[in-house]
Amino acid sequence: MTEVLLILVGVLLAVTFGAAVEYYRQIRRVKKEYEKAKETVEDVVLSFNRQLKREAEKLELVAYKVEANSSKSDKAIKRTEEIEKRLFALEPKISVKLKDGEKTLVRLDEIDNKVRDVVASQEALAAKISDVEKQAQQFSMIPEAKVEAVIPIKREKALAPLTETELSVLEMLAMEGPKTAPEIKDRIKLSREHTARLMKKLYEEGYLERDTSKIPFKYRIKKEMEKLLKKAESETA
């Protein structure tokens, strides 16, 4: 009986020891798996923390930009308000300037109309001048008598009324022969208009003859006047 008990106790101890060993092995296996799982979880947590940190940094950057934009918006709003105040203050002046501008535009329209009238008048005048020039050209092309009709010399106006310049012109023509007004102008040192008036006067008073076949006209002294000049020279001598 005792031996049976001892055998049973030995069997129980062996079973118990085997179970304990197996249990210990299971615990170690579980521990290893736990360690692996723990490392995996730590890696996941670390990766998540890193990602979370990045997202937090992005959020901080976005918050900074939002704050900066908000500040800029506030400044823009303030500037807009200031501009509105200035515009409100300038509105009466602008309305006055607009009225002045409208008056100026009206005046400019009036001036423009006057300028157009002046231009139209000038164009009409230019057309008339052109017609006159054409008529003058046609008239100049008509054959004329080479020497106009002789105007008789008025003896009472022969020499006494003549100025020194007029006498010098008559003497020049008597000595050198026929000349045009421009040629005479260069010799007596007078203006073109003055010389033209002088020659016209001498012609109309009967001192000269005029050749109108060419322009400018040629003037020559009348034979009667030439005789009077020679007579005056001989009397003076």
Kindly report the three-state secondary structure assignment for every residue of the chain: CHHHHHHHHHHHHHHHHHHHHHHHHHHHHHHHHHHHHHHHHHHHHHHHHHHHHHHHHHHHHHHHHHHHHHHHHHHHHHHHHHHHHHHHHHHHHHHHHHHHHHHHHHHHHHHHHHHHHHHHHHHHHHHHHHHHHHHHHHHHHCCCCCECCCCCCCHHHCCCCCCHHHHHHHHHHHHHCCEEHHHHHHHHCCCHHHHHHHHHHHHHCCCEEEECCCCCCEEEECHHHHHHHHHHHHHHC
Last residue of a domain, one of 116, 142, 168: 142
Q: What is the mean pLDDT of residues 47-52?
A: 80
Q: Give the residue from 142, 171, 194 where a domain finishes.
A: 142
Q: Is residue 136 part of a domain?
A: yes
Q: What is the pLDDT of residues 205-223, one digit of tens each?
A: 888 999 888 888 999 988 8
132 and 164, same domain (yes or no)? no
What is the pTM for the complete model shown?
Answer: 0.34
The per-residue pLDDT for 147 is 45
Could you say which DSSP state residue 155 is in?
Answer: G
Please say if the pLDDT value at position 180 is more than 90.
yes
For 150-165, what is each residue's pLDDT tens digit?
444 444 456 667 888 8
Q: Which domain holds residue 187?
A: 155-236
Q: Tell me: the pLDDT tens digits for 54-77?
A: 888 888 888 778 777 777 777 878
pLDDT band at 14 (very low <50, low <70, confident <90, very high): confident
Statement to judge: residues 135 and 162 lie in one domain: no
Our count of domains for the chain comes to 2
Claim to verify: residue 136 and residue 99 sit in the same structural domain: yes
Residue 46 lies in a domain: no
Cβ atoms 228, 159 nearer than 8 A: yes
Q: Could you tell me if residue 59 is inside a domain?
A: no
In a domain, 64, yes or no: no
Residues 82 and 137 grouped into a single domain: yes
Do both 179 and 220 map to the same domain? yes
Residues 176 and 121 both lie in one domain? no
Task: State the pLDDT at residue 45.
Answer: 74
Please indicate, yes or no, if residue 34 is contained in any of the structural domains.
Answer: no
Does a structural domain hold residue 131? yes
Question: Is 61 among the domain residues?
Answer: no
In a domain, 30, yes or no: no
